[in-house]
Amino acid sequence: MKRIIVTAVLVFFCFLLQTSVCPWIAFGGIKPNLLIILTAAFGFMSGEKTGIWTGFACGFLVDLFAVYDGGSGNGDIFGLYALLYMLIGYMNGKCNQMFYPEDIKLPLLMIVTSDLSLNVVYYVFAFLLRARLDISYYFLHIMLPEAVYTIIIAFLFYPVFLFINKRLEKVERGSTD
Amino acid sequence: MSPVIKKKRKKFTISSKYLLLILSCFCALLMIFTFKTSLFEGPLKVAASYVVVPFQRGIATVGGYMSDRSKELGQLKDVLAQNQELQAQIDALTIENNQLQQDRYELNNLRSLYELDQAYSDYEKIGARVIASEADNWFYSFTIDKGEEDGIRVDCNVMAGSGLVGRVVSVGPNFSKVQAIISDNSNVSATVLATSENMIVSGDLQTVQQDGVIRFSQLSDKNSRVSIGDKVVTSSISDKYLPGILIGYISSVDTAPNNLTKTGTITPAADFSHLEEVLVVMELKQVTEE
């Protein structure tokens, strides 16, 4: 129960940071993606289910404030980001067996891979299907900078998430004893 | 109760694979559903207006205060230099203004002769603060802190300074989402003021990122009368945008591959990199019935 509340608060907090604070620290118009750090880290640290729910919550919030309507012409389309973030959470949860708290290289690699795959898939749906074919440009100028920036920010945020997860695990162990 | 039933029930769990499957199906259905209708939007927006928007508004207020202070410190020198320059400009403009006022007097007379109403000079506008932006780097949109309760409706035009910024694409009780004209999925029907020829102005992530310009296309200009620096305004045939709002200035013109029309780029008049406050035009071009 405690885990659910803490995760929900974290998702909410990261979403606020992502939409209201990240534009200030945007570098050349590129914002880092905090939500992918959160989703990947929680999936990776505590398994598939946590990953799925964290991803779903993050993605749903992003959908709620996104503007792309898929060309339908009647307002917003919900679910695309929710689905993508959820799959990313699940994939990261699959790698839970490889998780050691001391190691920071592997989680960072997972975060970069997650960010890149999210953007590649989103590019295909939202840009390639509208005949924006210059994939090398979008890769070099949108996806790669975002991944690099996300990694830099992850150095700050991942230890925080790790610490929170450690505390949660301690509390959970305490309650089952 | 018999002791058999009283036995503690096993906690209900679901394997992660099935959870993923169920939620994926849910997402897919939601996508299809929201693609066809806009039924869900109402309740979701009300929820968002209570949960998310107050926090975003708070952060924006603090951020606005801080950026104001830091700007003040950094720009004091510039402002002093600018002040002198502007004083000189004021003198020049006063002279020009006098001449223009004479011209205007004449114009008013002529207008009343032609019985032209002074259309689209005074739209009712309200100011709004930008409180959040899009979470990703793909499309350019933002959230403002005024919504249905302030009288904003979908398709209201949004301006900053004298330039067009975009239009409202969805409204909640106390917030609305604005799609910018530089967003990759935006198209605006526009007119070149000098020649009154119509064209389509479309946002493009690539050109915006590279040179800060947006594309235009389908401009018919057989005698090459359109030149760099010409003003581009929203056209009167647009069904979403009010006529005569400044979009920007032409920065390059090319002949399209079909050799019939011209394409090129426009420098937007609004400054999209420092949007903090915007003006929402309360008038709608046309009211759609649902």
Give pLDDT, residue A104: 85
User: Highest mean pLDDT: which of A80-84, B42-46, B60-64, B76-80?
Assistant: A80-84
Q: Using the 3D structure, point to which of B118, B134, B158 is the last residue of a domain.
A: B118
Chain A hits for B273, CB-CB cut-off 8 Å, are 29
Whether residue B117 is predicted with pLDDT greater than 60 in this model: the reply is no
B207 contact A CB<8A = no
A101 is written with which tokens? Answer: 């708290």
In whole angstroms, what is the distance from residue B72 CA to residue B74 CA?
6
Q: How far is B284 from chain A (nearest CA, A)?
A: 17
Q: Is residue B33 part of a domain?
A: no
B132 shares a domain with B265: yes
Task: Give the A:B interface size as CB pairs under 8 Å.
Answer: 162
pLDDT band at B65, cuts 50/70/90?
Answer: confident
Nearest to A154 by CA among A117, A99, A113, A93: A113
pLDDT band at A72, cuts 50/70/90?
Answer: low
Chain B hits for A16, CB-CB cut-off 8 Å, are 52, 55-56, 59
Nearest by CB to residue B55, choosing from A16, A80, A123, is A16
Q: Using the 3D structure, point to which of B118, B139, B168 is the last residue of a domain.
A: B118
Amino acid at B195: T
B279 shares a domain with B137: yes
pLDDT band at B287, cuts 50/70/90?
Answer: low
Q: Is residue B30 part of a domain?
A: no
Residues 52-91 on A with a CB inside 8 Å of B are 52, 56, 61-62, 64-72, 74-80, 82-83, 86-87, 90
Nearest by CB to residue A79, choosing from B28, B170, B205, is B28
Q: How many CB atoms lie within 10 A of CB A3?
A: 17
DSSP-assigned letter for residue B286? -
Give pLDDT, residue B14: 78
Q: What is the mean pLDDT of residues A65-75?
A: 66
Give pLDDT, residue B112: 66
pLDDT band at B252, cuts 50/70/90?
Answer: very high
B196 contact A CB<8A = no
pLDDT band at A79, cuts 50/70/90?
Answer: confident
Give pLDDT, residue B118: 46
Q: What is the mean pLDDT of chain A?
A: 87
Give pLDDT, residue B266: 94
Nearest to B264 by CA among B272, B255, B273, B277: B255
Instruction: Show the domain range for B89.
Output: 56-118
B137 shares a domain with B156: yes
Q: B59 and A21: CB-CB below 8 Å? A: yes
Residue of B18, B30, B35, B165 to mutate, testing the A interface (most A Cβ within 10 Å of its Cβ):
B35
Give pLDDT, residue A37: 94
Q: A29 and B137: CB-CB below 8 Å? A: yes
Element containing residue B96 per DSSP (H, E): helix B53-114
- Residue showing tokens 């004021």: B90
Q: What is the mean pLDDT of residues B263-272?
A: 90
DSSP-assigned letter for residue B7? S
pLDDT band at B116, cuts 50/70/90?
Answer: very low
Q: Is this complex scored with an ipTM above 0.85?
A: no
Give pLDDT, residue A65: 81
pLDDT band at B11, cuts 50/70/90?
Answer: low
Q: B206 and A137: CB-CB below 8 Å? A: yes
Whether residue B147 is predicted with pLDDT greater than 50 in this model: the reply is yes
Whether residue A71 is predicted with pLDDT greater than 70 in this model: the reply is no
Q: What is the mean pLDDT of residues B126-138?
A: 87
pLDDT band at B96, cuts 50/70/90?
Answer: confident
Q: What are phi and psi of B44, to 5 degrees?
A: -65, -40
Does the pTM of the predicted model rise above 0.90? no
B247 shares a domain with B198: yes
In whole angstroms, what is the distance from residue B163 CA to residue B201 CA?
14
Give pLDDT, residue B136: 85
Residues 6+ apart with CB under 8 A from B282: B123, B124, B125, B126, B151, B152, B156
pLDDT band at B275, cuts 50/70/90?
Answer: confident
pLDDT band at B189, cuts 50/70/90?
Answer: very high
Give the CATH number of the domain where residue B199 resides. 2.40.10.340
B250 shares a domain with B173: yes
Domain residue ranges in chain A: 2-176
B114 shares a domain with B251: no
Cα-Cα-Cα-Cα dihedral sign, residues A146, A149, A154, A157:
negative
Q: How many domains does chain B have?
A: 2
Whether residue A89 is predicted with pLDDT greater than 80 in this model: the reply is yes
**What would the pLDDT profile of A42-60 be if each residue is shown by its tens digit?**
998 888 899 999 999 999 8
Q: Domain A2-176 belongs to what topology? A: Arp2/3 complex 21 kDa subunit ARPC3 (1.10.1760)
Q: What is the mean pLDDT of residues A104-123?
A: 92
B132 contact A CB<8A = yes
B130 shares a domain with B83: no
**What would the pLDDT profile of A10-26 be if each residue is shown by its tens digit?**
999 999 999 888 888 88
Give pLDDT, residue B113: 60
Residues 6+ apart with CB under 8 A from B162: B246, B269
Q: What is the mean pLDDT of chain B?
A: 83
Say what percent of chain A tops pLDDT 90.
Answer: 50
Q: Is residue B19 part of a domain?
A: no
B49, B121 in Cβ contact below 8 A? no
